[in-house]
Amino acid sequence: MARLDTSGLHVLGVRHHGPGSARAVRAALADIKPDAVLIEGPPEADALIPLVGELEPPVALLVHLADPPRGDAAASAAGWAFWPFAAFSPEWEALRYAAEHGVPVRFCDLPAAHTLAERMARAGGTGEPDGAEPADGPEADTEEGATEDPESVGRDRLRLDPLGVLAEAAGYDDAERWWDDVVEQRGEGEPSPFPAIADAMAAVREESGPEDERGARREAYMRQVLRATLKQGHERVAVVCGAWHAPALRGVADFPAAADTALLKGLPKAKVSATWVPWTHGRLASDSGYGAGVTAPGWYHHLYTAPDLPVHRWLTDAARLLREEGHHVSSSHVIEGVRLAESLAVLRGRPLAGLDEVSEALTAVLCEGEPARAALVHRTMAVGERMGSVPPTTPMVPLQRDVIAAQKRLRIKAEPFDRDLDLDLRKEGHRERSVLLHRLRMLDVAWGDPRDTPAGKGTFRESWRVRWEPELDVALIEASRWGTTVAGAASARAAERAAEADLPGLTALTEQCLLADLADALPGVLTLLTDRAATDGDVTHLMGALPPLARSARYGDVRGTDAAHLRAVAEQILRRVCVGLPPAVHGLDDDAAARFVTHIDHTHSAATLLGGEALAEWEAALAALARRETLPGRISGRLNRMLSDAGHIDAEELRRRLGLAMSQGTEPAAAAAWLEGFLQGSGLVLVHDDRMLGLIDSWLLGLPEERFSAVLPLLRRTFGAFDASERREIGEAAGRLGGTRAAVRTRVPVDVERAAPALATALAILTDGRKRAS
């Protein structure tokens, strides 16, 4: 076979997301004037290249399984990969050059179809934890060695950190800084660094030994594409790839094509689709877990967009930011900051002040030594949060389009930072926003996070914190299997969830359906709910299901849903509870009784919400229950208290029952439990009813000593729950008992002057302000 002619081949080994590389690539391309460009990236995205002109970086290529896996969380986390591009990425520069000059361009990395298929197989086998490698991108090959493979940890340092070795040879302790100095901070018009980079990498690769399997395959594929391109008759071909691969591609003629073909044989393959999605600087930052990330995307963006006086401009921007925050920063601060940064750079022997120097100048001069303030500004600027955008013609699943349309219609923007939304559900637009956010939550697209409603609780207010993350696009694509519109998909999802849910899950789902206004899904969910309620023998499940339902019945007022059906279901469940209650409380031990009391409390408030006939039935059931002798003390005490609070037992009867429970014949522990249930929440009843207090008092006095010490912890728990003033009042009331000291309760004399405004206000409220006006 004739030796491949590589005289027209130019391999540009870059550092992903390096502004200096990008600038060098631009200069090199202008010089080479290639008639074909190859870029390290998934070939599935070749069809998407024409969109480049309309994209606004940062954007990412998203390649995902065409048919998202169902159910398995680990598998679905592995079923996609991103290739991010920022404005300062050399690959992006190459794409733009190709688009502007009409040069044919291709992605030449190993197809994601293989990568994802392999990863799926691995995730399926080992059940890798969710999010282990959230963004894979143009792999971390040059920068971090091989963060993509856990098994690579044991490999020698050279391979892990080839740049580190080079940097060390150049006398740097930090590889990033070395690369920055040598390549990234290059000005315009310096000679092309690429041959030297490739030579250096070749030297490093010689020492590091053969590539691992995956790396070898990727390079084999790149060479195959390269060969094909050269054979098509292109004369000047530019390849933009990670520096690490440069030697392997430059010497394509030295590698036998047959070996590469053999290496690529029989790879697993998955069906995938690709699209562009907006990306954020925050996601580019290496501390977000992105392997090939850069420490300071904001700084790189700045270096790339402000070619002259980067330090001056950066510190001026920092000063403006500080001024916005209300700190006094003068121009002379900036002047001195620039001087310090520059002399630090000279001191350290760097060609230009870098991020380190600038940040130190920021701390020492602009922030006058306050590290916290400096860190805040520095972080904001170093990340320089921004979000890219994609044109509407980008391939999208219908669900994405529907969400974008809804965002436009409701005027809420997808932004990459936290924003608080306060919604007033009485307004049409606000209500629709709330519905959209709830529906997306139903689809596991966590754009908004519902927050506790601030003061002024009302069912018509809702607070959200929204933040759009690029992953949400993936979530949308995954959710697209449920339907093509948000409403349809959410309904389908709700129905599917309902099929799997247990009773409490179903009621929670009912609530969510109401919040998300899923009228289509609701009847089905409610039917299932009544079915489950009928067959579920556990009354606590029913009781747990009731409160959300009762709450939901009230939402009808604000959200305009038909509450009647819901109410019917809730009342039906409440009836089941009433029936199931007596047997359920039989023979409970103390802990179980305490838990049951909580259930009763919740059900009681739910019944109060429902009101009407249902409430009456519930109270009747409680009254019947309270008369039972065998009831655990804790429950019995609580029931009597609830009934008396509701006015169904008069004081006399209550005293009788208390006396019964507190009589000498009862087991003291049971009596103490009764008391605990009775006094739960508040002991004021004792302050106002001396006779009741007397009963308890004489019971206590009548206890033999060892019995007394046995019930003491229980009593302590009961009374310890009251606040100090309540305890004091009970104590005072107990002091008055028996008339031994006919002490009149000491009254604090009222300070008339201080009380007057309060009185006036109370009066104004009571009289609707009329008195005041007159």
**Which residues are at the interface with another protein (CB under 8 A)?**
328, 330, 332-333, 336, 339-340, 343-344, 346-349, 356, 360, 363-365, 368-369, 371
Please report how close the Cβ of residue 465 comes to another protein at its closest, in angstroms: 32
Residue 95 or 365: which CB sits closer to another protein? 365
Please report how close the Cβ of residue 356 comes to another protein at its closest, in angstroms: 7
Distance CA 230, CA 242 (A): 20
Residue 106 or 177: which CB sits closer to another protein? 177
Residue 377 or 486: which CB sits closer to another protein? 377
Residue 103 or 362: which CB sits closer to another protein? 362
Please report how close the Cβ of residue 334 comes to another protein at its closest, in angstroms: 12
Distance CA 337, CA 340 (A): 5
How wide is the angle at C-alpha 82 spanned by C-alphas 80 and 85, nearest 5°? 165
Residue 363 or 540: which CB sits closer to another protein? 363
Closest CA to 91 of 55, 66, 122: 55
Distance CA 190, CA 27 (A): 9
Buried b or exposed e, range 161-192, using 16+ CB within 10 angstroms: bbbbbbbeeeebeebbbbbbbbbbbbeeeeeb
Residue 313 or 373: which CB sits closer to another protein? 373
Token couple for 133: 């490698």
Residue 210 or 369: which CB sits closer to another protein? 369
424, 429, 434, 438: CA torsion to nearest 10: 160
Residue 87 or 344: which CB sits closer to another protein? 344
Residue 371 or 769: which CB sits closer to another protein? 371
Please report how close the Cβ of residue 417 comes to another protein at its closest, in angstroms: 29
Please report how close the Cβ of residue 348 comes to another protein at its closest, in angstroms: 7
Q: What is the DSSP string of 463-477?
A: EEEE---THHHHHHH
Residue with tokens 């009222």: 750
Distance CA 55, CA 32 (A): 25
Strands 9-14 and 36-39: unpaired
Please report how close the Cβ of residue 182 comes to another protein at its closest, in angstroms: 21
Please report how close the Cβ of residue 321 comes to another protein at its closest, in angstroms: 18
Give yes or no for a contact between 437 and 448, defined as CB atoms under 8 angstroms apart: yes
| Residues constituting the chain | 774
Give yes or no for a contact between 249 and 219, defined as CB atoms under 8 angstroms apart: yes
Distance CA 134, CA 334 (A): 40
Distance CA 39, CA 94 (A): 8
Please report how close the Cβ of residue 369 comes to another protein at its closest, in angstroms: 3
Buried b or exposed e, range 323-360, using 16+ CB within 10 angstroms: eeeebebeeebbebbbebbbebbeeeebebbbbbbbbb
Please report how close the Cβ of residue 624 comes to another protein at its closest, in angstroms: 54
Residues 433, 288, 66, 274, CA torsion sign:
positive
Residue 382 or 693: which CB sits closer to another protein? 382
Please report how close the Cβ of residue 343 comes to another protein at its closest, in angstroms: 4
Distance CA 262, CA 235 (A): 27
